[in-house]
Each structure stands twice: as structure tokens, then as C-alpha cells.
Structure 1
Amino acid sequence: MTETQSEVSVEDEPRAPNNVEVRVAANLEQLSVLRAVAAHIAMREDFDLDAIADLKMAVDEVCSTLIMRATPGSTLTCRFQANGNDITVQATVLSDSDSTPSRESFGWRVLTTLTDTVNTWIAPASADPGGYLTHIELVKRRGSASG
């Protein structure tokens, strides 16, 4: 995948008809694609305008955080799962860092204000070139208020 390419897939599993996975080059120019996908899914699930805006900002913050940690040339994977009353977003990127993003940062405080739950963890990458997979997962529920 070149630096400007994006890839979108919809899982065909019967038990997961509302799953969407987007893979983009881990660079800030791709944030608008991810925000647009988040907004579309939230609109399709009939979230109100405030919840849609919160989800878009949260996806932007999660993906920005991961892009800043990404190894050069890596891919950011963002999975969206709509479950009727909530949307789960899990974003992952390859990083050289073996530590999670700070839960004391301003960005983390923004995430906890905009979403219902947010979590982060690290896992060793299983293939070359090694490194660590940094994960951030959030859940936004329909009608939950921000701030």
C-alpha cells in the first residue's frame, strides 16, 4: 500500500454484518477518511448529531495518537463495529514503543469525555519487522452525553 492509498473492507460474516475495517497509511493526511467513515456509520445507526460529532472527534484523537507513535511506513488499521445502541472502534498501529499512550495526557482526557469507555494496550508484533502493536479501543453509546 502506498503512502496515499486507503483500503476499506466490510466483513461478510453473518454474525458481524455491521463491521467495517479501514486500513490507511499511518499519516495525518488520512484522518479525514477515518472521520468520514465514523460519521457515516454513526448516521447509519441513527445517532444524534452531538453523538456523531463526539465520535468523529474521538476517532480523530485516537488515530492522531497512534499515527504519532507509528513506525515509518506502517499502516493504521481502524475497525468499526455497530451494535445497535453503540459503536466500538478499535485502532491499531505498529510502533517501536513498548509503552501505552499516557492516560494522563490532555488527549486521553478528551477521549474519556467524548466516549463511554476507552482502553489501550500493547502486544508484541508477531511478524517482521518486529516492534509492538499499539491498540486503542473506544465505545460510544447512542444518546450518551459528552462532557
Structure 2
Amino acid sequence: MSHTEPLSGESDDPLAGVELRMAADPTQLSIVRAVAADIAMRQDFDLDSIEDLKLAVDEACSTLISLAAPSTVLSARFIVVNGAVQVFTAVGSKRSAPPDRDSFGWRVLSALVDSVTTWVAPRSDAYEVHIDLVKRSQGTA
């Protein structure tokens, strides 16, 4: 499933979950993959679901890095809701368009998670591109 509007259900508690803020640089991807895997393991995801979440987070962040403005920050926020891991990623960009939803990478991303959305928010001098996803464990309906 793919949409172009923000996910509902994000916690209003600013202290909920885990948030990473890092340079929008491919060298940082191993950190965000490790956090995704750890959170999935703590939710008792099976090995395939853990790998799916890691790959999906990697693809979402890689896509955002490719759209990032120079010297910008990539953020990834992880929240667990009813056994599902929600991941909210964003980066500053000069582009006003969301990622290409017809690309091979987007198709892979969509296949790895239960839902994925992308949207763009205007900022004072640029835009913020978001990719949000949800991965449920096999036992969660």
C-alpha cells in the first residue's frame, strides 16, 4: 500500500519512541539499520520480519539522502504501537516533489512493509520530504 499523505496514529507524546538525527550521508545508514533491527527484536519479530524492517528503513533513508539538500539532517523516529513498528523519516530538500513512487526502490520498499507513505512539507526556505512506514510482526493483524 502506498499513499501520499501523513500516517495517522503517530504519538502526540514527544518523548515516545526513539529518534535519531544524523547527517544525511550514506555512511550513517548502518546506525539506523541497527536501531531498526534492535527495536524489531524487542517486539519479538521473526528473523524475516527483522530483515524486512532493516531493508525498508535502509531504502527509505537512502532515498531521502538522495533528495537531501547539502549539509542537512536526516531524522528517523521509531514508535511501537500495538506490536507494530512505525518509522517516520524526514530530510530537508530543495525539491518540492515526493520520491518517485514508480521506481524500483519504491516497489521494493512497498513490498517489505505493511504500509508506506510519502509527503512533502513546505519550510521557510526549502521543503521537508518524509517517508513513513509501518511494519507489523507476523502475529499482529
CA drift at 1:102: 0.7
Q: Report the TM-score, using the length of structure 1 for normalisation.
A: 0.83
Q: How many residues align?
A: 129
Alignment of 1:33-72 (within 5 A): 33-72=31-70
How far apart, in 2, do the equivalents of 1:18 and 1:133 lie?
Answer: 22
How far apart, in 2, do the equivalents of 1:141 and 1:112 lie?
Answer: 13
- Does residue 143 (structure 1) correspond to residue 138 (structure 2)? The answer is yes
Segments ≥4 residues shifted beyond 6 Å: none
Aligned residue for 1:43, secondary structure, equals: helix
Post-superposition CA distance 1:119-144 (Å, at most 9, x none): 00001114xxx110000000001117
User: Which amino acid in the other structure matches residue 131 of structure 1?
Assistant: A
Equivalent position to 2:27, from 23, 29, 37: 29
Aligned residue for 2:59, secondary structure, equals: helix
RCO comparison, higher one (Cα < 8 Å, 6+)? 2
Partner of 1:3: none
Partner of 1:8: none
CA drift at 1:85: 1.9
Q: Percent identity?
A: 52
Q: Report the TM-score, using the length of structure 2 for normalisation.
A: 0.86
Larger Rg belongs to = 1
Partner of 1:124: 122
